[in-house]
Homo-oligomer: A and B are copies of this chain.
Amino acid sequence: MSSANSLTVDDLGSAAQRDRRKRILDATYELAKEGGFDAVQMRAVADKADVALGTLYRYFPSKIHLLVSALGREFEHAESVLREKPIPGETPSERVIYVLKKTTRGLQGDPHLTEALTRAFMFADGSVANEIHSVGMLLTSMLTQAMHPGATELTNDDIATARVIGDVWLSALVAWVTGRSTAVETSAHMENAVRLLLRD
């Protein structure tokens, strides 16, 4: 586990290092946004971030780690934006659907970026478990927050429900980024799933 982890902000002592890390993730973000998974080439990232290829690999041990970390940063950002305002909606399902729609619309506005990040997520193996896990927790917590705003205690069923919704969301996203379903179908399917799970 310790053998192949991405360097987190906390691992980095100097300001220069934190800056390198940021430049790398910024470059990754831009390349992904412009050309998707295939455009995020390690040499291109290194060039754009003004960093040697070997250094890039010291910070992120693989392309997958790199993309999943970039996904994590974006997700944190989305989550903090979401946290600023209370979630509108009378019922849990209305609020969950609001969160999903908002998030999905954000992703669908950046198809290349979404394709790159989703592909990476799906291809990630055990060595990326840490990065994946933190993204998963973030998503689950966003969903449980929408279900029970401000709640401090959650039942097992709440968490399980959130995870199922997360699964559906991921499958729908994969189908969409691989061109196997349209944005409209994706939304409809997710709404349907929420309705089936949260009958309120």
Q: Which residues of A contact B (CB under 8 A)?
A: 119, 122-126, 129, 132-133, 157, 160-161, 163-164, 166-168, 170-172, 174, 178-180, 189, 192-193, 196-197
Contact = CB atoms under 8 A, between A and B. Distances in A.
How many identical subunits does the complex contain?
2
A174 B132 contact: no
Given A129-B179, A171-B170, A180-B126, A160 B197 contact: no
Given A171-B170, A171-B171, A196-B197, A163 B178 contact: no
A123 B126 contact: no
15 contacts: A122-B122, A122-B123, A122-B174, A124-B180, A125-B179, A126-B180, A129-B179, A160-B189, A164-B168, A164-B196, A164-B197, A167-B167, A167-B171, A167-B172, A196-B197
A39 to B, nearest CB: 15
Contacts of A132: 180
A38 to B, nearest CB: 10
